[in-house]
Structure 1
């Protein structure tokens, strides 16, 4: 079975209020990219993944008229994708949902929210964020998507799709303001990861095969504030010390190196430096029992993956479709 996670920048902006794809000459929310350009590029990338299940981060909006499922299933039909069925969970407070797009011939998926080890992800979690001995309420703006996956042939397992808090100091009006916002955002991001890790630990204690995947907006050594807090959110979710660990080879590589060339799953343009910034933000973490069944992890990177680099059309599609690139993992569940 091939599982993928893919953050699609402003996917929702490609659909109208009736969930119809707008593949036209209007501008998308990506710089210098029309809706037709982004939609066609995404169709090419999804076909290239050829995954049995794709955790879509920043999936189309869910609201009074907007339907994540209708938008994604319409998109799949438009580009003749075998991942023709979509499933989402608790709606986001933003226009960015988490959803699974999957092939119903190869697996079934059910929304299976839990309160094991910690509150449900659509509720509040009390944690002291600023070391004043007073618990602060933590809430996910994009609640993780908890699923029970049953392959057509093979071992069932739990899957949790994640889009953790961004640490970027959006709205800052001065360097001091940027520092304050960045530290506050990191506190919340770490709190979300602690919350998630408690759920992970509880499932692992029960012996449940588990996969956690998505965009963590974080990674080992990613910013200076990690020194202030001692560890990244990714390290918290992976598990430390005596905790039952999860595994992702790209995270393991980043933790081992800390310096030098590292894997990356995202590419952002920075106006202040007039350069592109590469970052490892997207992961597929698996429990030990699934790791024993796992084969290749792959980042469909337009420059670092030789097959993507050697295919000019796919390389262009990856750069046009999103500021993130898909991560793919192969599992033998038979």
Structure 2
């Protein structure tokens, strides 16, 4: 079984208001990339992944006239992808949905948001936590509620799959250095609260003796920025404390990366933001992780066409997990 997570930047821009693909020479949301070029690149990458299920982070929008599932299934049909079916969780207002494309011959999938409690409410509800130890509870909500799925394989095995896109720490809208610091700290506090909320839900599934796979863009990693020292640990470390495992998150040598962003000086910043974490019971199932980095993965380096498609399609690169389920 191959599972994947892939943050596709500005995917929503490639569909019109009726979810028809726009394949022309107008500009996409990506710098100096047309819609036709990005559509073709995404299709090449998804075909190369050949995954049984792919979490699409920043999936097409659901709104008054648009529908995420319809858009993704039209995309899959246009390029004869075997991941022909789609499922999503709670829609949000950001035009960046979470959805799963999957092969119906390999998996049965349904959105299954388990009713929570005050300590770990359902992902579309409100989480109360004292973020700064001031004896006052903060009210936290997900702008992009995680997607909680019940999955059954063709052979009858069951597992829980949770797709997540945690709060970005970037100080968007800051007008000064002081404001940027203030916004960055506030964003990190909210992101850590989301990680605590998510970890409690994961822990509940593990305690119920369920197999869990958490995947997506966590917008964080150990040692990623200077604000981590203010709070003691990263969001990723909070999730690993539940017993989840991803070897890329645990590495202490040269850090891998799953995203590549252009800076104002023309250089590139790379970061490890995308993960596929598995519960302890799944570590014995011969899991194998792969980051499809165009310059660091030997298979991608050997295929110039795929390498260019990865650079054109998104500022993130896919992560896959091959595992015997």
Query: Residue deviations 1:249-304, cap 9 Å, x none?
Result: 10011xx34xxx21000000111x43100100000000011121133100011000
Question: How far has the Cα of 1:103 moved from its partner?
Answer: 0.2
Alpha-carbon distance between aligned partners in 1 of 2:115 and 2:195, rounded to the nearest angstrom: 15
Question: Which SS does the other structure have where 1:294 is aligned?
Answer: coil
The partner residue of 2:301 within 299, 309, 313 is 309
For residues 161-200 of structure 1, the aligned pairs below 5 Å read 161-200=163-202
Name 1:246's counterpart in structure 2.
Answer: 244
- Stretches of structure 1 lacking an aligned partner (at least 5 in a row): none
**Bigger CA drift: 114-123 or 148-157?**
114-123
Alpha-carbon distance between aligned partners in 2 of 1:278 and 1:154, rounded to the nearest angstrom: 40
The partner residue of 2:321 within 316, 322, 329 is 329
Question: How far has the Cα of 1:154 moved from its partner?
Answer: 4.5
Matched length: 323
For residues 254-265 of structure 1, the aligned pairs below 5 Å read 256-257=252-253, 261-265=254-258
Alpha-carbon distance between aligned partners in 2 of 1:154 and 1:208, rounded to the nearest angstrom: 14
Question: Which SS does the other structure have where 2:287 is aligned?
Answer: strand
Alpha-carbon distance between aligned partners in 1 of 2:280 and 2:129, rounded to the nearest angstrom: 29
Does residue 50 (structure 1) correspond to residue 50 (structure 2)? The answer is yes
Alpha-carbon distance between aligned partners in 2 of 1:325 and 1:64, rounded to the nearest angstrom: 30
Question: How far has the Cα of 1:130 moved from its partner?
Answer: 2.9
Question: How far has the Cα of 1:13 moved from its partner?
Answer: 0.4
Q: Moved runs in structure 1, 4+ residues, more than 4 A?
A: none
The partner residue of 1:214 within 213, 216, 233 is 216
Alpha-carbon distance between aligned partners in 2 of 1:70 and 1:172, rounded to the nearest angstrom: 36
Query: Residue deviations 1:37-96, cap 9 Å, x none?
Result: 000000000000000000000000011211000100000011110000000110112000
Query: Residue deviations 1:200-259, cap 9 Å, x none?
Result: 1111111100000000000011000001111000000111xxxx4100010011xx34xx
Query: Residue deviations 1:133-189, cap 9 Å, x none?
Result: 110110000000000010001421000000000000000000000000000000000
Name 1:202's counterpart in structure 2.
Answer: 204
Name 1:276's counterpart in structure 2.
Answer: 268
**Aligned Cα RMSD in Å?**
0.9
Does the CA-based 8 Å contact 1:55-1:101 persist in structure 2?
yes
Name 1:319's counterpart in structure 2.
Answer: 311
Question: How far has the Cα of 1:131 moved from its partner?
Answer: 2.6
